[in-house]
Amino acid sequence: MDYVFETGSDLGRDHMQYLGTLLDAPTRWCLERGGLSAAARCLELGAGAGSIANWLAARTGEVVAVDIDTSRLTDVAANVEVRRHDLREGLGVDGPFDLIHARLVLVHLPEREQVFARLVEALAPGGRLVIGDFTGRRLHPITMPSPEDEAVWARIQYLSHEVAGPASGMSMTWAGSTAARMTDAGLVDVHTMEYSETTTGGTDGCLLHRNLNQQAEPLLLGVGATPDELRRYRELMTDPSFSAWFYQFLCTSGVRPK
Ligand SMILES: C[S@@+](CC[C@H](N)C(=O)[O-])C[C@H]1O[C@@H](n2cnc3c(N)ncnc32)[C@H](O)[C@@H]1O
């Protein structure tokens, strides 16, 4: 099953930018919590536009940035090695790594269990695995222009996260299971950070919703969304009188014992 979004498209460019604005700060907190060594060899999976790869490169020894689509990885530091590779066919690079990070990658891959096992194997003794993903927690609305709009919001959220997403291989339960999987795999110092905030129409969280909705339009129409519902949903995402909880983001880390 193929990844549903296109990192190299114009919408994909904006998608990566919204993710960076919304999630780089909590991700950096999570990465710093484990300590970063100036000599560390790091692996950044599904590197997107490289904001975290570059941030790691400024604090560690070297970073290998892997993505199936490397067209956004053009402006990277000298110690970032870019590799175009499909993670469903292995990691694409030999370990061991002192730090492995994957944000919003495993949630999309039906082969996430196999990829996860390879990540654990690729850790150096004392190496840290950090995985960040969205959960499927319902995104409760806070302010709505009208009750009809609340129904449109709820229906598009339902079709996106509970119908089209799972049908395309996404798992909205994976993030909540990562800590237990790390423990079962023998990692220690397992820790999860939860991050969530509200978002208002016209701001980055809502603009990301709108962007994902545009990219997933064929899928959503295929599971019964109507063009009118999609149009109204996208209008809501730019309307300042709309606000709701944004995705819950979990960032879980664990260490391979020395
Ligand atoms: C939702 S984006 C997240 C990008 C980045 N990690 C971030 O959080 O800003 C998912 C990334 O994984 C990449 N990707 C999807 N499927 C992949 C695969 N099978 N192998 C390697 N990379 C993949 C996409 O191209 C995209 O850059």
Distances (CA, A) of 19 to 39, 45, 94: 28, 15, 28
Alpha carbon nearest to ligand 1 atom 27, residue: 48
**Ligand 1 midpoint to CA 72 (Å):** 11
Across the beta sheet with 80-84, what order do the strands follow? 80-84, 62-67, 41-45, 97-103, 123-134, 249-255, 188-195
**Ligand 1 midpoint to CA 90 (Å):** 15
**Ligand 1 midpoint to CA 123 (Å):** 20
- φ, ψ dihedrals at 61, nearest 5°: -80, -50
Confidence (pTM): 0.97
Pairing mode of beta strands 97-103, 41-45: parallel
Asked if 47 contacts 20 with a C-beta cutoff of 8 angstroms, the reply is no
Distances (CA, A) of 179 to 26, 66, 133, 176, 255: 17, 23, 12, 7, 11
Q: Is residue 2 part of a domain?
A: no
**Residue in the block written with tokens 């536009």:** 49
**Ligand 1 midpoint to CA 151 (Å):** 31
Domain total for the chain? Answer: 1
Q: Is residue 5 part of a domain?
A: no
Can you give the CATH number for the domain in which 18 is found?
Answer: 3.40.50.150
Pick from 17, 28, 67 the residue to mutate for probing ligand 1's pocket: most ligand atoms within 8 Å of its CB: 67
Q: Is residue 181 part of a domain?
A: yes
Q: Is residue 213 part of a domain?
A: yes
Q: Which pLDDT tens digits describe the chain residue by residue (258 residues)?
A: 788 899 999 999 999 999 999 999 999 999 999 999 999 999 999 999 999 999 999 999 999 999 999 999 999 999 999 999 999 999 999 999 999 999 999 999 999 999 999 999 999 999 999 999 999 999 999 999 999 999 999 999 999 999 999 999 999 999 999 999 999 999 999 999 999 999 999 999 999 999 999 999 999 999 999 999 999 999 999 999 999 999 999 999 999 999
For residue 171, give the nearest of 161, 184, 156 by alpha carbon.
161
Domain that holds residue 101: 10-255
Query: Ligand 1: which residues within 6 Å by Cβ?
Result: 3, 7, 16, 19-20, 46, 48, 67-69, 86-88, 103-105, 108-109
Q: Is residue 3 part of a domain?
A: no
Q: Is residue 1 part of a domain?
A: no
Q: Is residue 200 part of a domain?
A: yes
CA 102 to chain centre: 8
